[in-house]
A = this chain, B = another copy of it.
Amino acid sequence: MEYPSQLLTHAVDEFAKLPGVGRKTALRLVLHLLRQEPARALQLGESLIRLRNEVKYCKVCHNISDSDTCSICSNPQRDASTLCVVENVKEVMVIEATRQFGGLYHVLGGLISPMDGIGPQQLQIDSLVERIRQSRDPQNPQPMLNPPIREVILALSTTMEGDTTNFYIFRKLAEFADLKITTLARGVAVGDEIEYADEITLGKSILNRTLFTDSFAKNGK
């Protein structure tokens, strides 16, 4: 389809580069913006430019942040001896939304994926090792602010890339004695019917069954 204006074509082209947005949807969104008051399109445009120009990443955990250290890392109430390793910023948000985790995070920025040309060097794995090493260093200058990390929770997706990354990190962390390395419990989701659970998940949830009284207590309700 031909567009009557270069400006329109350009805006549609840019929108259509977003994932899941085809040219038809892009055109619909652009024409919608043109029908709205001008401020709407300007605000969207400016918010994207500001986000991209001014976004910061926490220098400790690599989460998106408005300052050099994110609000989670700089919160003294949180248990700095437990680290949850996640793939991306999104996972920090969903785990925070559960309100069940009081430790800190470490955002890898992706998963090892040779198919996509992503190796361990592109991810924040070296900085994870360094972060743990510094916290456990006897010369640690701030043992109160930065206590020794005792547990690392690997909270990556159960995909091939997630498993590969899990194993890579597991081996990298072998140098630290007494470091507890855990992973998320796999089991039947809350609300799921047993009848429809897949075999592997159901098998794991039987092997890793928990005491009924424990499951009740941990429910937090």
Residues of A within 8 A of B (CB): 1-8, 10-11, 13-15, 17-21, 25, 27-34, 38, 40-56, 63-66, 70-72, 88-90, 92-94, 96-97
Contacts and interface: CB of A to CB of B under 8 A. Distances in A.
Contacts of A33: 18, 48, 51-52
B51 A10 contact: yes
Given A42-B52, A51-B11, A52-B42, A64 B19 contact: no
A94 B31 CA distance: 14
Nearest to A3: B93
Contact of A27 (B19, B27, B90): B90
Given A1-B93, A44-B14, A92-B4, A51 B34 contact: yes
Contacts of A10: 47, 50-51
Contact of A44 (B3, B15, B31): B15
Contact of A48 (B45, B51, B65): B45
A48 B66 CA distance: 25
Contacts of A46: 45, 49
Integer count of this chain's copies in the complex: 2
Nearest to A94: B1
10 contacts: A2-B93, A4-B93, A10-B50, A14-B44, A19-B29, A20-B25, A27-B90, A31-B90, A38-B52, A41-B52
Contact of A63 (B4, B11, B32): B4
Given A31-B90, A32-B19, A44-B14, A5 B96 contact: no
Contact of A31 (B21, B45, B52, B89): B89
